[in-house]
Structure 1
Amino acid sequence: MKPGETKPTWRKPVGILALFIALLVYAVIVAGLSTPIGRLPVLVQTPIYIVLGTIWLLPLRRYLIWMETGRWR
């Protein structure tokens, strides 16, 4: 390897696959909640869907750091 090049790790492909699976599971859970949420007034539904649509981003930063470095911080 040339200086400055890094060796590929297993974390990136495994991390991408795990992220895809986790998002798929999360989407199925949220879709399953659509019927009870749909019964609520629209002004209540809106903040619920905003929170559910963005909450998955909370652990994403540390997860991406782990994929790059192997550390959680």
Structure 2
Amino acid sequence: MPQRLRSFIGTIVIILLVVAYAVIATSFASAALATQPWWIHLGYFVVSGLLWILPAMLIIKWMAGPKQQK
């Protein structure tokens, strides 16, 4: 697959991932954490705010393509 196409597909997938993840994480927080104190909200959003990076790193690694052999 050409590098430009791989980058385009990866960019679209990352954008969709971030939007879907934000909606799901916020919906869960609204439903499950509504009566919890502020510090639980803070902890949840810190963890969930960093958790989306893991799948994004895999997509970026895929976008970079296979390593060039010397």
TM-score bin, normalised by smaller chain: 0.7 to 0.9
1:26 aligns with 2:26: no
Give me the TM-score of the superposition, normalised by structure 2: 0.75
Higher relative contact order (CA 8 A, sep 6+): 2
Give me the TM-score of the superposition, normalised by structure 1: 0.73
- Number of residue pairs the alignment of both structures matches: 65
**Structure with more helix by fraction:** 2
* % same residue: 22
1:44 deviates by 1.4
Gap runs ≥5 in structure 1: 1-6
> For the pair shown, which has the larger CA radius of gyration, 1 or 2?
1
Aligned-partner Cα distance in 1 for 2:52–2:10: 15
Gap runs ≥5 in structure 2: none
Which residue does 1:3 correspond to in 2?
none
Which residue does 2:12 correspond to in 1?
17
